[in-house]
Amino acid sequence: MARLLKKKKFGIHAKALAGIIVFTLLINIAMCISGSLIFDRAVQRIYNERGYVVANIILNQIDHEKIAEYSRTWYEDKYYEDMSMYLNYIQEFTGAAYIYIGVPYEDKTMKYIYDSGSNMGFRDPIAAPFDEIWKAYTEGVRPKSYLVRHSQYGFLTSSCLPVKDRKGEVVALLFVDTNMEVIHSTLRRFIINMVIIALVLLGGFCLLNWHYMNSYIIHPLMILRRNIKWFAENTTTDDSLNDIKTGDELEELAKSVQSMEQDIVDYIDNIQTITAEKERITAELNVAAKIQADMLPRNFPPFPERKEFDIYATMTPAKEVGGDFYDFFLIDEDHLGLVMADVSGKGVPAALFMVNARTLIKYRALMDKKFSPADILYDVNNQLCEGNDADLFVTVWLGIIEISTGKVVTANAGHEHPVIKRAGGKFELDIYKHSPAVAAMEGMKFREQEFHLNHGDCLFVYTDGVPEATNAKNELYGPERMLKALNYNSDGDVKELLENVEKDIDEFVEDSPRFDDITMLSFKYF
């Protein structure tokens, strides 16, 4: 049962109503307590002052010299009988509890000159605050505080005045006692009346406050809650928030929520449209990537009947499609063309430019009877410059190898330096001055370089994606690491050489994103 109660949740209606009721009860209790304390002091003062009025009347009527005589002789005479009858009459007429005249002593006792319940000379302990009484007797002043006391005669408050003879000396004290039960009964009536009035007024306030809170706070919040819950479950808007007409921040909140929900619906619609479009583009890019991959030679060995050389190449695009490409083809039975190129930019524009550049280079090379890479790039450059509004360009390393002699004629149009390994040696960069990139400017001429390959020599060409591969520390892979990877097993076959470099790049880059295509080709001459 306790567990069920603990799990039970109270709604805002119940909490607000409970809060108003508790607040009303606390206000009621505080009003009653503070009112009773104030009224208690006021009633005590009223009854005490009324006692002093009676005491002053008595002082004006009795013979002070006779009182002084009685305080010395303690002897009753004819005047004493008349005075007793007068005091009894005053006591009955005013409703005082007791009226008496006495002389206090330092032993905290009182010797009575007159007391309606005892004879002259009767002595009794003083139950009221003695210091106040003694000060009134010795200094002839009226006590400042209320002389409230509990005694065998009841719960009383006394009004005390000094009785002075003609010389001004205090000879006795006159007391008029009021029963505190009278004060308390008056106080109880006041408290009962105040509680009833407070309950009526605070009950009305409670109802009005509840009506106001329910109309302008709780009910709008419930509408907001239902609307948000409906939106979370259905992701559709409704007009329920238009019912909130409080004219304050809640109405502004409702309008903001309604606007936000509409923005979310529109955003979801846009996301769905964008997602569908992205899926379509992704599918098309996948097809384009496959077409691009199919355009590059992928069957190795590519010329199994030719034992004079071996070739292996790879291309890893940074995006679905890339701007790098490689190519190799037999121009005739004794001449082999090798191409390594890198189009500026990434993605689809670079891929389209790459297709055009590769096609032009290959078919222009197949038509060339001079076997001149410089002439081939000259013609291709002029064709690519036509209609090149995107200002794309392509760096190209083009080499034509005379298979029977090992003679290699190359043109390097802004591309990376090739790497050559002589038989029994190590891979080293072949550094020489480049020509500008293809499609950078119409009518541009290109330089040629010539070298020879001997039995067992190896050629390695690549794009800038290899040395510019970057790790998490923003460090470049660099040509030194590339040469080290190639020389790890420099006598390996052409495929193993590329695998060693690719593995070393992966270990260097780790999980860092790649921003450039990585393309490599190795050629070994036998």
Domain encompassing residue 341 = 298-525
CATH number of the domain encompassing residue 173: 3.30.450.20
Mean pLDDT of all residues in 496-507:
95
Are 124 and 241 part of one and the same domain?
Answer: no
Residue 42 located in a structural domain: yes
Tell whether 334 and 319 lie within a shared domain: yes
Question: Considering the domain boundaries, does residue 200 fall inside one?
Answer: no
Residues 140 and 268 in one domain: no
- What is the per-residue pLDDT for 64? 93
CA dihedral (383, 387, 389, 394) in degrees, to 10, reads: -20
Residue 191: inside a domain: no
Q: Are residues 372 and 518 in the same domain?
A: yes
Residues 365 and 436 in one domain: yes
> Is 265 a member of any domain?
yes
Give the separation between CA 108 and CA 124, rounded to whole angstroms: 9
The answer to whether position 223 is within a domain reads no
pLDDT > 70? residue 284:
no
- pLDDT class for 388, splitting at 50, 70, 90? confident
Say if 192 falls within a structural domain. Answer: no
Residue 232 in any domain: the answer is: no
Question: Of 47-56, 162-171, 389-398, where does mean pLDDT reach its minimum?
Answer: 47-56
Rounded CA gap, 371 and 337, in Å? 9
| Domain closes at, from 185, 220, 255 | 185
| 327 contacts 339 by C-beta, under 8 angstroms | yes
CA dihedral 6, 11, 13, 19 (to 10 degrees): 40
Within this chain, do residues 139 and 74 fall inside the same structural domain, yes or no?
yes
Same domain, 353 and 373: yes
Residue 97 pLDDT > 90 = no
Residues 119 and 33 in one domain: yes
| Residues with Cβ within 8 Å of residue 477, at least 6 apart in sequence | 466, 467, 468, 469, 470, 471, 505, 508, 509
Based on the structure, what is the number of domains in the chain? 3
268 and 309 in a single domain? The answer is no
Q: Within this chain, do residues 33 and 115 fall inside the same structural domain, yes or no?
A: yes
pLDDT classification of 4: cutoffs 50, 70, 90: very low
What band does 177 get if pLDDT is binned at 50, 70 and 90? confident
Mean pLDDT of 410-439: 94
The torsion region of residue 258 among left (phi > 0), alpha (psi -120 to 50) and beta comes to alpha
pLDDT tens sequence across 263-280: 888 888 888 888 888 777
The C-alpha atoms of residue 486 and residue 503 are separated, in whole angstroms, by 11
Kindly state the average pLDDT of the residues 496-508: 95
Lowest mean pLDDT among 8-22, 96-110, 129-143, 498-512: 8-22
Higher pLDDT: 429 or 53? It is: 429
At 5, the pLDDT band (50, 70, 90 cuts) reads: very low
Residues 366 and 447 in one domain: yes
CB 39 within 8 A of CB 187: yes
Stated pTM of the model: 0.54
- The reply to whether 433 falls in a domain is yes
Q: Kindly state whether residues 315 and 261 are assigned to the same domain.
A: no
